Amino acid sequence: MNSKGILEMLLSSGQDLARKGREVGERGLGVPQAGSQREAMISGLGKGALAGGALALLLGSKGGRKIGGSALQIGTLAALGGLAYKAYQNWQEGQRGAAPADPGTPVDRLSGPPAERRSLALLRAMIAAAKADGHVDATERAHIEGELARLGLDADTLSFFQQELAGPADPRAIAALADSPEAAAEIYLASRLAVDLDSAMERGYLEDLAKHLQLEPGLVQQLEAQASTSGR
């Protein structure tokens, strides 16, 4: 599975959804059930964009909700890594008397296995955050998995999404994926972009995630500021 490529396309497709203000519900991708139009759409989207659409399906509650504000408006890994890095720098500048620390390498500057590991962590973080309100019950999970199967994803990608959908939204497990301060900041920021802040459950999930990531309150504020700026 090409985690980095899927994450790039996921962010791009999410940005497009946000820009268009499209309502995401049970038919998040809008791919027809059958016929030449469906085949043409699938062919044009490509595997990565289809994986991005899977998150769009996950974001849709039964009542429907809109992607807006800062949600998924970061369209590239470079933007995600850069905003997390900027937040860390801004926070460090406010730490009087503290020696500057190396936060680690942003995700877009990684290559090879380290890039895949970080990208996979961010994918898992976004999926967990998107389902943190508990709206994905057994019935809706079966619906989403059925849509994924019909979209023609490769076996590894399909298996990955199925496993992540079946598991709980566990902030402790997601936080354990961070191997540097930069990774922790990126995981929080990616999670922040995938939640609906009107949901008390999702706000609570973010608070727990920040605690398990051991993010200082000032750094969380900087990450929130970067997320808000990205949505303008």
Return averaged pLDDT per consecutive 10 residues of the chain, 232 residues in all: 78 58 41 50 44 56 42 71 91 77 90 94 89 77 73 77 86 96 94 80 93 95 83 49
Alpha carbons 135 and 60: distance in angstroms, whole number: 9
Give the relative orientation of helices 181-193 and 217-230 as an angle to the nearest 10 degrees. Answer: 50
Residue 67: predicted pLDDT: 45
Rg of the chain on CA atoms, in Å: 17
104 in the Ramachandran plot: left (φ > 0), alpha (ψ -120 to 50) or beta?
A: left
Alpha carbons 219 and 210: distance in angstroms, whole number: 10
Whole-model pTM?
0.78
Residue 125: predicted pLDDT: 93
Q: How many domains does the chain have?
A: 1
Residue 66: predicted pLDDT: 43
Residue 3: how many other CB atoms lie within 10 Å: 21
**Partners of residue 66 on adjacent β-strands:** 23
Q: Which amino acid is at 141?
A: R
Q: Which amino acid is at 162?
A: Q
Alpha carbons 46 and 28: distance in angstroms, whole number: 16
Task: Give 107's DSSP letter.
Answer: G
Alpha carbons 72 and 11: distance in angstroms, whole number: 6
Give the relative orientation of helices 181-193 and 112-130 as an angle to the nearest 10 degrees. Answer: 40
Q: Which amino acid is at 105?
A: T
Domain interval for residue 145: 3-230
Alpha carbons 110 and 121: distance in angstroms, whole number: 13
Task: Give 98's DSSP letter.
Answer: P
Q: How far is CA 209 from CA 156, 205, 223, 228, in A?
A: 27, 6, 13, 18
Helix (H) or strand (E) holding 23: strand 23-24
| Residues across the chain | 232
Residue 123: how many other CB atoms lie within 10 Å: 22
Residue 147: predicted pLDDT: 67
